[in-house]
Amino acid sequence: MTSPNPARARISIIGAGPGGLTCARILQQHGMAVTVHDRDTGPDARNQGGTLDLHADNGQIALRAAGLLDEFFELARPEGQEMRRMDPAGTVTSHQIPGPDELFKPEIDRGQLRDLLLGSLRPGTVRWGSALERVGGPAEGPRQLHFADGTTVETDLVIGADGAFSRVRPAVSPAVPEPTGISFLEAWFSDAENRHPDIAELVGQGSAHAADGERGMFAQRNGNDHIRVYLIQRVPVDWLGASGLTADDTDGIRALLLERYAHWSPRMRRMITDNEGVYVDRPILALPVPHAWEHDPSVTLLGDAAHLMPPLGVGVNLAMLDAAELALALADSTTVDDALRTYEKTMLPRSIETARVLEGGAEHLLATDLPDFGDDAPEH
């Protein structure tokens, strides 16, 4: 089968995260038909997670291509660029305060970003409750999308924007995410200024990081006076079960954490004792480095599906840049095959280079002096 012209191709994006939605938005701007499939039952099916900093040299470039940069700045929090580094006693050892006009990497809540992108799409673009099981059909196309409900969709191009555990990735690569040996435990604090003023003062308007070489804390101000704290440990993926605990045993987990952080100051340990609700266990995984695949004329990947890395501030930014470059390549090419070659010629070397820089970087989140990876803040 001859590779179709993108303007006449049936384009299917798997995953309604920032990368998938950015790609869909730019494709629609250029008059191309696209459908986004997502396993969530709807846009409000689950919490979208914490805050993101979108960088001027990648994430903001994608939003400009999507025609949404001004709307982003109306929602973003420039003050969220503040970064504090502390020791386990809570003493500030380094403090970065953004200038009054600093807009290099302002923060935005994931939910706000997703709503912005969803609202820019034509009604019916996203098909919720579409859990992909596998991609079938020949490489030359057409492809078949097999969904968990037994339905099948025929398409000319499959774009895997479905994250770490991508169901599209096996169509082009056998790679699977591997544990980095580092895990986060996420804790939440709402109405922080009133209910948790001491923690709010510690964190400031942006982010705060502390570590002692073996364990760390990363606290991050979100919108609506909400703070998320990530307790960072060097542990195996199954550490909770190995400790005789379950994910919903909040008291048991807290007791274990207080033992492990016993030498930290009482003020810092309030980020362990005062959290609201359960802890969320988030083992940090990464794809092997380098990760690439043989070119396929009808399937490609973007974001974490293509290059899952430690959460050091690049993931969403790279996903959105991937999305913009892929959509623009499709708009400017005579065939889908040509567009994918153009996109992958740039994306793969860039992602491999970045992944090599960040390889093993999750370990540095435990270091007393967090290195500069091009961003100061872990991203989740």
CA distance 148 to 153: 12
Rounded to whole angstroms, the Cα distance separating 103 from 90 reads 28
Q: Say whether both 316 and 339 belong to one domain.
A: yes
Containing H/E element for 111? helix 110-119
- Phi and psi angles of residue 188, each rounded to the nearest 5 degrees, phi first: -120, 145
Residues 267 and 319 in one domain: no
Report which DSSP code applies to 48. -
Higher-confidence residue of 362 and 22: namely 22
From 285, 311, 341, the end of a domain falls on 285
Same domain for 189 and 333?
no
pLDDT of residue 370: 59
Q: What is the domain-level CATH number for residue 326? A: 3.50.50.60
pLDDT in tens, 258-283: 999 999 999 999 999 999 999 999 99
Domain co-membership, 119 together with 154: yes
Together in a domain, 337 and 231: no
- Asked whether residue 234 falls in the same domain as residue 323, the answer is no
Across all residues in the chain, what is the average pLDDT?
94
* Residues 280 and 303 both lie in one domain: no
Stretch 123-139: mean pLDDT: 97
pLDDT of 334 over the 70 cut = yes
Please name the residue that has the structure tokens 């701007």.
Answer: 29
Q: Which of 49, 26, 46 is nearest to 36 (CA)?
A: 26
pLDDT at 369: 73
pLDDT at 371: 55
Q: What are the residues facing 94 on neighbouring strands? A: 85
157: tokens are: 């191009």
